[in-house]
Amino acid sequence: MDLRNGLRPLGTTPDEFQRDLLSNLYYRRGTTVESASAQDAYETLALTVRDRLAERRARTAAAHYESNPRWVYYLSAEYLLGPQLEQNLLYSGTTELAPAALKTLGFSPEEVAALDVEPGLGNGGLGRLAACLLDSLATLDIPAVGYGIRYDLGIFKQEFDNGEQVERPDDWAFQGDPWEFPAPDDWQMVGFYGFLGPEGWVPGEVVHGEPSHLLIPGYGTETVNIVRLWRARAARASFDLRRFSAGQYAEAVEEAVRAENISKVLYPDDSTDMGRELRLKQQYFLVSCSLRDIVRRFRFRNADWDDFPAKTVIQLNDTHPTLAIPELMRLLVDEEKLEWEHAWSLVRRTFAYTCHTLLPEALETWPVDMLGRLLPRHLEIIYLINEALLAEVRSRFPGDLDRVRRMSLIQEEPQRRVRMANLAVTGTFAVNGVAELHSQLLTSTTFADFAALWPDRFTNVTNGVSPRRFVRLANPGLSTLITSGLGSDAWLRDLSLLSGLAPLADDPAFREQWRTERRHAKEALGLGDPGAMLDVMIKRFHEYKRQQLKLLHVITLYHRLRDNPERFGVPRTVLFGGKAAPAYYAAKSIIRLINAVAAAIEADPKAYGLLRVVFPPNYNVTLAEKIIPAADLSEQISMAGKEASGTGNMKLALNGALTIGTLDGANVEIRDRVGAGNFFLFGLDTPAAAALRASDYRPRTYYDSDDELRAALDAILSGAFGGVGQEVAHSLLDRDEYLTLADYRSYVDKQDEVAAAWEDQEHWTRMSILNTANSGFFSADRTVADYLSRIWHASPVRLS
Residue 568: HSE in the Cβ half-sphere, 13 Å Cα cutoff: 22
User: Which of residues 338 and 650 has its CB atom nearest to ligand 6GP in the complex?
Assistant: 650
Work out how close the CB of 657 gets to ligand 6GP at its nearest, in angstroms, rounded to a whole number: 17
Residues between 658 and 697 with contacts to ligand 6GP, criterion CB under 6 A = 665
- As a whole number of angstroms, the distance between CA 543 and CA 545 comes to 5
Q: Within 68-145, where are the H helices?
A: 85-91, 97-104, 109-113, 125-139
User: Which of residues 188 and 636 has its CB atom nearest to ligand 6GP in the complex?
Assistant: 636
> Hey, how many other C-beta atoms are within 10 angstroms of the C-beta on 670?
27
Q: Which of 153, 291, 644, 754 binds ligand 6GP (CB under 6 A)?
A: 644
User: Which of residues 126 and 640 has its CB atom nearest to ligand 6GP in the complex?
Assistant: 126
Q: Which of 229, 421, 434, 773 binds ligand 6GP (CB under 6 A)?
A: 434
- Residue 462 binds to ligand 6GP (criterion: CB under 6 A): no
- As a whole number of angstroms, the distance between CA 755 and CA 209 comes to 55
> Hey, how many other C-beta atoms are within 10 angstroms of the C-beta on 403?
17
User: Which of residues 578 and 665 has its CB atom nearest to ligand 6GP in the complex?
Assistant: 665
> What is the per-residue DSSP string for 294-360?
HHHHHHHH---GGGHHHHEEEEEESSTTTTHHHHHHHIIIIIS---HHHHHHHHHTTEEEE-----G
Q: Which one of 223, 357, 428, 647 is the catalytic residue?
A: 647
| One-letter-per-residue 3-state SS of 534-564 | EEEEECCCCCCCCHHHHHHHHHHHHHHHHHC
Q: Which one of 540, 542, 592, 766 is the catalytic residue?
A: 540
CA-closest candidate to residue 143, choices 227, 66, 71: 71
Q: Is the peptide bond before 414 cis (omega within 30 degrees of 0)?
A: yes
User: Which of residues 511 and 542 has its CB atom nearest to ligand 6GP in the complex?
Assistant: 542
Q: Which one of 378, 539, 671, 750 is the catalytic residue?
A: 539
Scanning 40-48, 168-176, 450-458, 640-648 for contacts with ligand 6GP by CB under 6 A, the matching segment is 640-648
- As a whole number of angstroms, the distance between CA 789 and CA 580 comes to 36
- As a whole number of angstroms, the distance between CA 691 and CA 725 comes to 29
| 32: annotated active-site residue | no
**Rg of the chain over all Cα atoms, to the nearest angstrom:** 27
| 539: annotated active-site residue | yes
Q: Which of 126, 259, 294, 437 binds ligand 6GP (CB under 6 A)?
A: 126
Scanning 124-132, 182-190, 466-474, 598-606 for contacts with ligand 6GP by CB under 6 A, the matching segment is 124-132
- As a whole number of angstroms, the distance between CA 276 and CA 628 comes to 35
User: Which of residues 453 and 644 has its CB atom nearest to ligand 6GP in the complex?
Assistant: 644
- Residue 148 binds to ligand 6GP (criterion: CB under 6 A): no
- As a whole number of angstroms, the distance between CA 138 and CA 225 comes to 6
Work out how close the CB of 258 gets to ligand 6GP at its nearest, in angstroms, rounded to a whole number: 27
Work out how close the CB of 584 gets to ligand 6GP at its nearest, in angstroms, rounded to a whole number: 13
Work out how close the CB of 124 gets to ligand 6GP at its nearest, in angstroms, rounded to a whole number: 5
User: Which of residues 124 and 699 has its CB atom nearest to ligand 6GP in the complex?
Assistant: 124
User: Which of residues 365 and 573 has its CB atom nearest to ligand 6GP in the complex?
Assistant: 365
User: Which of residues 360 and 487 has its CB atom nearest to ligand 6GP in the complex?
Assistant: 360
User: Which of residues 434 and 451 has its CB atom nearest to ligand 6GP in the complex?
Assistant: 434
- Residue 620 binds to ligand 6GP (criterion: CB under 6 A): no
- Residue 647 binds to ligand 6GP (criterion: CB under 6 A): yes
- Which pairing describes strands 351-354 and 430-433: parallel, antiparallel, or unpaired? parallel
- As a whole number of angstroms, the distance between CA 797 and CA 143 comes to 7
- Residue 424 binds to ligand 6GP (criterion: CB under 6 A): no
One symbol per residue from 512 to 551: x for binding ligand 6GP (CB under 6 A), - otherwise; what is it?
----------------------------------------
Residue 121 in contact with residue 148, Cβ under 8 Å?
yes
Q: Which of 141, 177, 632, 643 binds ligand 6GP (CB under 6 A)?
A: 643
- As a whole number of angstroms, the distance between CA 403 and CA 452 comes to 11
Scanning 109-117, 355-363, 680-688, 744-752 for contacts with ligand 6GP by CB under 6 A, the matching segment is 355-363
| One-letter-per-residue 3-state SS of 452-489 | HHCHHHEEECCCCECHHHHHHHCCHHHHHHHHHHHCCC
- As a whole number of angstroms, the distance between CA 398 and CA 360 comes to 27
- As a whole number of angstroms, the distance between CA 443 and CA 427 comes to 17
Work out how close the CB of 786 gets to ligand 6GP at its nearest, in angstroms, rounded to a whole number: 13
- In sequence order, the β-bridge partners of residue 226 are 145, 215
Residues between 281 and 340 with contacts to ligand 6GP, criterion CB under 6 A = 318
- Which pairing describes strands 71-75 and 144-149: parallel, antiparallel, or unpaired? parallel
Scanning 112-120, 356-364, 755-763, 779-787 for contacts with ligand 6GP by CB under 6 A, the matching segment is 356-364
Scanning 125-133, 184-192, 208-216, 718-726 for contacts with ligand 6GP by CB under 6 A, the matching segment is 125-133
Q: Which residues of 342-365 are buried (b: 16+ CB within 10 A; e: fewer)?
A: ebbebbeebbbbbbbbbeeebbbb
- Residue 645 binds to ligand 6GP (criterion: CB under 6 A): yes
Is 779 strand, coil or helix?
strand
Q: Residue of minimal CB distance from ligand 6GP?
A: 125
Binding-residue total with ligand 6GP (CB under 6 A)? 18
CA-closest candidate to residue 231, choices 266, 203, 273, 201: 266
Q: Which of 212, 463, 659, 771 binds ligand 6GP (CB under 6 A)?
A: 463
Residues between 358 and 387 with contacts to ligand 6GP, criterion CB under 6 A = 362
Q: Which of 46, 47, 102, 129 binds ligand 6GP (CB under 6 A)?
A: 129
Residue 251 in contact with residue 291, Cβ under 8 Å?
no
- Residue 270 binds to ligand 6GP (criterion: CB under 6 A): yes
| 730: annotated active-site residue | no
- Residue 699 binds to ligand 6GP (criterion: CB under 6 A): no
| 651: annotated active-site residue | yes
- Which pairing describes strands 417-419 and 365-367: parallel, antiparallel, or unpaired? antiparallel
Element (H, E) at 59: helix 38-67
One symbol per residue from 5 to 44: x for binding ligand 6GP (CB under 6 A), - otherwise; what is it?
----------------------------------------
| Type of residue at 109 | P
| 297: annotated active-site residue | no
| 647: annotated active-site residue | yes
User: Which of residues 52 and 279 has its CB atom nearest to ligand 6GP in the complex?
Assistant: 279
- As a whole number of angstroms, the distance between CA 172 and CA 156 comes to 10
- As a whole number of angstroms, the distance between CA 180 and CA 4 comes to 20
Q: Which of 50, 208, 292, 356 binds ligand 6GP (CB under 6 A)?
A: 356
Q: Which one of 281, 651, 671, 673 is the catalytic residue?
A: 651
Element (H, E) at 602: helix 585-603
Q: What are phi and psi of 581, to 5 degrees?
A: -55, 135
Q: Which of 124, 143, 268, 427 binds ligand 6GP (CB under 6 A)?
A: 124
Work out how close the CB of 427 gets to ligand 6GP at its nearest, in angstroms, rounded to a whole number: 18
Q: Which residues of 694-713 are buried (b: 16+ CB within 10 A; e: fewer)?
A: eeebebeebbeebebbeebb
Work out how close the CB of 464 gets to ligand 6GP at its nearest, in angstroms, rounded to a whole number: 10
- Residue 125 binds to ligand 6GP (criterion: CB under 6 A): yes
- As a whole number of angstroms, the distance between CA 82 and CA 128 comes to 8
Q: Which one of 320, 417, 545, 588 is the catalytic residue?
A: 545
Q: Which of 163, 629, 646, 699 binds ligand 6GP (CB under 6 A)?
A: 646
Work out how close the CB of 643 gets to ligand 6GP at its nearest, in angstroms, rounded to a whole number: 5
DSSP code at position 9: P
> Which residues are tagged catalytic?
356, 539-540, 545, 647, 651
Interface residue list for ligand 6GP (CB under 6 A):
124-126, 129, 270-271, 318, 356-357, 362, 434, 463, 643-647, 665
